Structure 1
Amino acid sequence: MTRRFALMIEPAASDDPRTDFATTFTEVDPSAPALTVGELSTQRGDGVFESIGVIDRHAQEVAAHLDRLAHSARLCDLPAPHLAQWRQAIARAAAACGPGESIVKLVLSRGVEHGPAPTAWVTAAPAADFTAVRAEGVRVVTLDRGYDLDTPARAPWLLLGAKTLSYAVNMAALRAARQRGADDAIFVSSDGFVLEAPTASVILRRGDTFVTPAAQGAILQGTTQQSLFEHLESQGFTTAYETIPASTLPAVDAAWLVSSLRLAAPVTAVDGAALTHDRALTTAMNAYLLSPRD
């Protein structure tokens, strides 16, 4: 059984991978208060994060998650995370996990307002049980994200390609989907193109080709999606990044929402229109995603 675990990180002075950063971590009681009133992550959501799946104490796709953390930090003008230090912190958190599935979360915020340094911490906790949703799938509705595909280039301050702590819109979208009788949502741009789900990437199948929306700065690049594409290519399938009209969703051969914790959840309906659920392929996808991946 995974115990809850938390490390506060003191920013390192060097990113030399030979450095031992053990003295820059402070293990804290995850159930006790650890942040001050002026912490900007709680007041303004001014920070970035990553959620890493852990299988039997093995943290999945660490390099990809750290690259994305650094990318999000750059977009938000946060100090560059010292990746060797974060990697050691992840290893300590994963070692605290038990058998089965767990989650390690990385958080980097701007810290206390007018403070000297950012706030950084790594936590570990048991993962939710996604067995049923991987097997039975999700019904989705499409929701207008409120911007067109050209918006990121015109307004980079919207931080559309960063994984920020500001998740109020994502949670509101999930509530809206449930109010409409669905389990989840797929965001579409105002000019009618598929983007992503509130907490997952979208993968569509057309024959032997698997496609996902091209990032174009408008969506978060999915670490699990990229890993799954590499696996599908090794199995002889074709993969592609495309600009996908939302009007074509009902005609695809199959669709999945994929993420680090839920893994591959088949989409069984879009806006009330049923989609084919390839159970054998979904089972194979999740078998791969549950295997150790570096």
Structure 2
Amino acid sequence: MKKTLVLLGLCLIFNCSKNELLDQYTTEISALKTEQELKNYWKELHDLDQITYLKETKGHLQGDSISITNMIRTALMFEIHGDDVYTPDNVVPILNFTHNYIGDANLAFWPIIQKCKKTGGVIESFGGKFPAYQLEGISITFYDFSLFRQDNKYNALLEKLNNKSYNTTVSETLFEIQEEQKKLAQLEVKDVVGKWNIERMNNIVEKGFFEFVKMSDNSLYLKRKHRLQKLIPIETTDTYQNYKIENEPFGWTYKLSNGNLSLLDDKGTTLIDYNAYN
């Protein structure tokens, strides 16, 4: 059964157009009429999430694509059956959110998290008291920055997320993000601008590194493993350059000066001074 779910997901992801994919899932989900059928479908989405999270799929691109496809199907459950399709004991949306590694997808999915919050239940306590776990899902996927024990930042960051304008059709936005990830996967590295240690908390160096790289489309990206996030220049002087990640939600920026890199918050306060990777 698990292999069947994965193969079906991959077939739809890599061979279907937007209309074909969304039509397939819209037809599938619209056909769910009874409470038990809806419950069974949530169970299927839960199982597929676990397969992907436990890395039973082959390759990062496939794993990321299945993860986003899972989010599309969850969004369609809300869009087709209404908010009442979600019950307080349902962990699927929060698993979709926290097991996904693409920042843009998590941001697009935030309206679903808001709907779950209105219902209450497990969303309030899964991984810690709301909104700690959920904000971590945004801060890690965009900036690889941990908000652990930084409760003083929560209200301001949550306000930024809740006041942001979102596309009303989450499923379509997620599909477009999935297509963009496929395009990014085709790019090649032309030049490495700099390489730094991973530090999710200040002065705590973790295994691995991230890079600023110029890709074959002549744009600059932040690269973590195989994942790329486009960097937008916002200020350039004789001594430093400031960049923001495209579509980032918090107003945080990177300051690059003579090979030294810092992550700044929206007020210009330094969150992390990164150490160069050797």
The structure with the largest strand share of the pair is 1
The structure with the largest helix share of the pair is 2
Shorter-normalised TM range: under 0.3
* TM-score normalised according to structure 1 size: 0.25
* TM-score normalised according to structure 2 size: 0.26
**Higher relative contact order (CA closer than 8 Å, sequence separation 6+):** 1
